[in-house]
Amino acid sequence: MRRKRLMRAGLAALLMLGTWTAAGTLPAAASDSSPTADAPQASAGLVEAMQRDFGLTRPEAETRLAAETEARDIAPAARRAAGAAYGGSWFDAGSDRLTVAVTADAPAATVRAVRSTGAAVRTVEHSARELDTAVARLDRIDAPRGVSSWHADPVANTVVVNVVDSRRSDNDVRRFVARARAAGPVTVETVPAAPSTFAAGTVGGDPYYTGNVRCSIGFSVHGGFVTAGHCGGGGAAVRGWDGTHVGTFQGSSFPGDDYAWVSVGSGWWTVPVVLGWGTVPDQLVRGSAEAPVGTSVCRSGSTTRWHCGTVLARNETVNYSQGAVHQMTKTSVCAEPGDSGGSFISGDQAQGVTSGGWGNCSGGGETWFQPVNEILNRYGLRLHTA
């Protein structure tokens, strides 16, 4: 069924089977990817996926998607209004509003300015700059494998260090935690397993392949597509689902980052589509506006296909066995080997490419993605949008 549908859609649709982009500041190179006021409503298939994965009714799913879009659109203005008092922001699913944290010393005029954007305001002790500085200090420390990741949590107003539950008493883990606490406000949490990437050996399924590794293709850019860096090094050849040559890795970075881009040729071309795998209709990509923490996000990949969850954290450092990767976004979406490089999308806005995680789609887990706008900026690429 998959290949019949792809033949109807054309080979170009194959190139979109994977990567989703999470963003930082929208790069100039992606100027055609900003959201538009007259963007279409979410497809019926996307609403159905939200109902399934979040246990919502159809009206609840539609209301949430509309509220998330509004939160995403006002977030930049709310941050500018907060200025130096900015402590981070997130989408509150309970109130369907963007919440912006500001420090206690924020002038009343600043608080009014933030509220005037439509955001709710919460007073916190630490600014986002303080938390980000603490994260940067941790990034300079060699972390043992028992430390899974760390990130600034705007809701808790602290830096969260995640430790593998079975390793929390290890001496090297305890030493890292002690140094982390000295670096700034830190909370330690436990996770059931260490993160790993989601590449896989060659097995039956969908493209793409490089060497004996299968990964998932990501978002189309003009001239190719973006994907995960751990899937292939610069110069590596890429084959499609039918074994034919697709293109070549033109740039790749891993660890430190986990992103790459592949040029496309040999009769292949790109389209602004993410595959829905029959669970939802194929999704058009209309931009790459960043989804706030707390908003819903969905992932498409060649192993587990279409799954949805929530953005849990941004700018998290993930400590893989191959080395740390910085500025990742953590989600509650599951993934499995072969999903690497696949798309993360929120509504019609590209968010990032699948990097790795822990768990699976039977028992659950967490997955990180590399934000797409960072990839576009790094390589001077332009997102292919509808």
Please list the alpha-helical segments (H only) found in the chain: 2-9, 11-14, 44-54, 58-82, 108-116, 128-139, 171-183, 372-379
Rounded-to-integer distance, Cα 33 and Cα 27, Å: 9
Closest CA to 132 of 159, 105, 155, 162: 159
User: Cα separation of 286 and 273, whole Å?
Assistant: 9
* Annotated catalytic residue 126: no
Q: Is-catalytic flag, 340? A: yes
Catalytically annotated residue among 126, 151, 230, 384: 230
**Nearest 10 degrees: Cα torsion 325, 187, 311, 326:** -10
DSSP assignment letter at 185: S
Tokens 């751990």, located at residue? 230
- Choice among 127, 300, 340, 346 that is catalytic: 340
Find how far residue 222's CA is from the centre of its chain. 21
Residues in the chain: 386
**Is 222 designated active site?**
no
The tokens for 367 are 């997955």
Give, as one character, the DSSP assignment of residue 138: H
Catalytic residue among 92, 206, 257, 258: 258
Residues tagged active-site? 230, 258, 340
